[in-house]
Amino acid sequence: MVNSGGQYMVLDKQGYDELVMYLTQNLALFEKPGVVKPNAPKVVELIEDVIAEHVIRLCEQHTGLSTEQRSLIVREVDGIVYDLQEVLSSVVDQRVTEEQQEFIEEFAGLVKNLFDSAIQ
C-alpha cells in the first residue's frame, strides 16, 4: 500500500485517524437492533458497494490521475474496507438497518473526501 515515494496517500494522515475515531464513536449503531427494510443488503455488501461507487466517482472526477495513482487509491481503499470489515466483523453478515446504511454512506463519502483532498 506504499507508493513509490514510500508514502501513503491518506492512510498515514490525520484525516484518516479522525475517520477511524469517528467509526469507533459510532460503533453503537452496529450493536443495537434497528429497522431493516425488505431486501436490505448485508452490512459487508453495502460497505463494498458504496465505497466502490465513491472510488469510481473519485476516478471519474480526477481524470488526470496516473495509473500508478489509481492503483495506489485502490490499494488504500482495499485496506480501508478490510479495516472496516474487521471492526464490524460481528455484524458483517447481518442485514443492514436504516441507521447503519446512513452511517456507511456517510463514511464512504468521508473516505472519498480524504482522497479528494490528497489529490488536489
Residue 39, SS3 per DSSP: coil
DSSP type of residue 42: B
How do residues 28-76 score in pLDDT, each as one tens digit? 999 988 999 999 999 999 999 999 999 999 999 999 999 999 999 999 9
Which of 43, 77, 42 shows the shortest CA–CA distance to 58?
77
C-alpha cell read off for 52 = 466502490
The conformation of residue 1, written as its DSSP 8-state character, comes to -
pLDDT at 6: 54
Residue 83 to residues 58, 61, 101, Cα–Cα distance (Å): 20, 26, 18
